Chains A and B, each alone.
Chain A
Amino acid sequence: MIHIVTPANEHNYREEMEQVWRLRHDVFVVEKGWTDLTRPDGREIDQFDTPHAIHFLAIEEERVVGYSRLLPTTRPHLLSDVMPQLCEGERPSGYDTWEWTRQAVARSHRARGKAVNPVSLALLSGIVEWGMGNGVRQLVLQMPTLYLLHVVQLHFRARPLGLPHTISGEDIIAATAEFDERTLARLRTVRGDGASVLAPTYSYLAA
Chain B
Amino acid sequence: MTRKSLDQTLGFLRSLDRTASADDVARLLVSELSDLGVAHVMAGTVPTRGTPSRQQNGHVLLNTFPSDWGRRYLARGYAFKDPTVRRLCTNTTPFAWSEVRDSYPDDPVARRVMDEAADFQLRDGITIPLMTLDGQIAGFSVSGERLVIDPADRAMLHLIATYAFGHLLLMRGQGASAVAANLAPREREALQWAAEGKTDWEIGTVMGISTHGVDFHLRSARSKLGSANRTQAVAVALRRGLII
Contact = CB atoms under 8 A, between A and B. Distances in A.
Given A111-B135, A153-B169, A153-B170, A146 B92 contact: yes
A148 B244 contact: no
Chain B: interface secondary structure? helix
A89 to B, nearest CB: 7
B213 to A, nearest CB: 27
Contacts of B155: 163-164
B92 A153 contact: no
A37 interface: no
Chain A: interface secondary structure? mixed
A149 B135 contact: no
Contact of A160 (B6, B134, B170): B6
Contacts, number: 80
B2 interface: yes
Given A114-B135, A149-B131, A163-B156, A88 B238 contact: no
Contacts of A111: 135
A168 B92 CA distance: 15
A182 interface: yes
Nearest to B167: A152
B6 A155 contact: no
A196 B2 CA distance: 42
Interface residues of B, number: 33
Contacts of B132: 149-150, 153
A149 B130 contact: yes
Interface string A171-195: 1010000000110011001100000
Interface in B83-111: 92-93
A162 B150 CA distance: 16
Interface of B: 2-3, 5-6, 9-10, 13, 92-93, 129-135, 137, 152, 155-156, 158-159, 162-163, 165-167, 169-170, 238-239, 241, 244
28 contacts: A88-B2, A88-B3, A89-B3, A113-B135, A114-B131, A114-B137, A115-B133, A116-B134, A145-B158, A148-B163, A149-B131, A149-B166, A150-B132, A152-B163, A152-B170, A153-B133, A154-B133, A155-B170, A159-B10, A159-B13, A160-B10, A160-B159, A163-B2, A163-B9, A171-B92, A171-B93, A171-B158, A182-B238
